[in-house]
Amino acid sequence: MVNKQIEARGIHDPNVLLAMGRVPRHLFVSEALMDQAYGDFPLPIGDQQTISQPYIVAEMTQALELKHEDRVLEIGTGSGYQAAVLAEIVFRVYTIERLHSLFIKTRRLFDSLRYYNIVTRYTDGTTGWKDESPFDAIIVTAGAPSIPKILIEQLAPGGRMVVPVGDRYSQELIKITKDEKGVRETNLGGCRFVKLVGEHGWKA
């Protein structure tokens, strides 16, 4: 998977490639879909949610320009796969899930895989995690109608955020960089995610 689907398509960050090779993706999908876990496509995980295709996970992770000492906030825990990839690279991952069934399932999985540097929370992720901010990086794993300003406020100076923006039919992956000059946006190209639901996202 790493060589053919990820590295061959331009992912070059050695930390990302190593992390993608370490995380057992098949454990983050149902038993019925384990034989498809390493294909380069999203898969359903229940509750009308999906686990993103490996390339998109790698692309978003690389765009965050992570360092080992970073503290990262993830909005939308989902299957837990993206958080596990982040946890292989950074000091601590804070991840929020609004669906209780997924929250319970992934917390148990993190514990069984000994990802003790992942901190989970069950709430509306679109409001962020103010008490633990600022974060070195923020990753949003669902499509927002616009860039949530409240999340930009929770970025540390020099922080990076990656967020899909658009409706269910047309989305762009946007990278936010926050520095002394202000906030800059970079369009990383088209993508497709489930909707980001919450106070600063789409209505349920």
CATH of the domain at 166: 3.40.50.150
Decide if 19 is inside a domain: yes
Q: How many Cα atoms occupy the beta-carbon half-sphere of 124 within 13 Å? A: 13
One DSSP character per residue, 134-147 reads -EEEEEE-SBBSS-
Decide if 82 is inside a domain: yes
Q: pLDDT tier at 75 (50, 70, 90 boundaries)?
A: very high
Q: For 167-192, what is each residue's pLDDT tens digit?
A: 878 999 999 999 988 999 999 999 99
For residue 155, is pLDDT > 80? yes
Decide if 199 is inside a domain: no
Decide if 114 is inside a domain: yes
Decide if 129 is inside a domain: yes
Q: Which residues constitute the domain of residue 60?
A: 2-191
Decide if 53 is inside a domain: yes
Q: For 1-19, what is each residue's pLDDT tens digit?
A: 888 889 989 999 999 999 9
* Percentage of the chain exceeding pLDDT 90: 92
Residues annotated as part of the active site: 52
Q: For 30-64, what is each residue's pLDDT tens digit?
A: 999 999 999 999 999 998 899 999 999 999 999 99
Q: How many domains is the chain partitioned into structurally?
A: 1
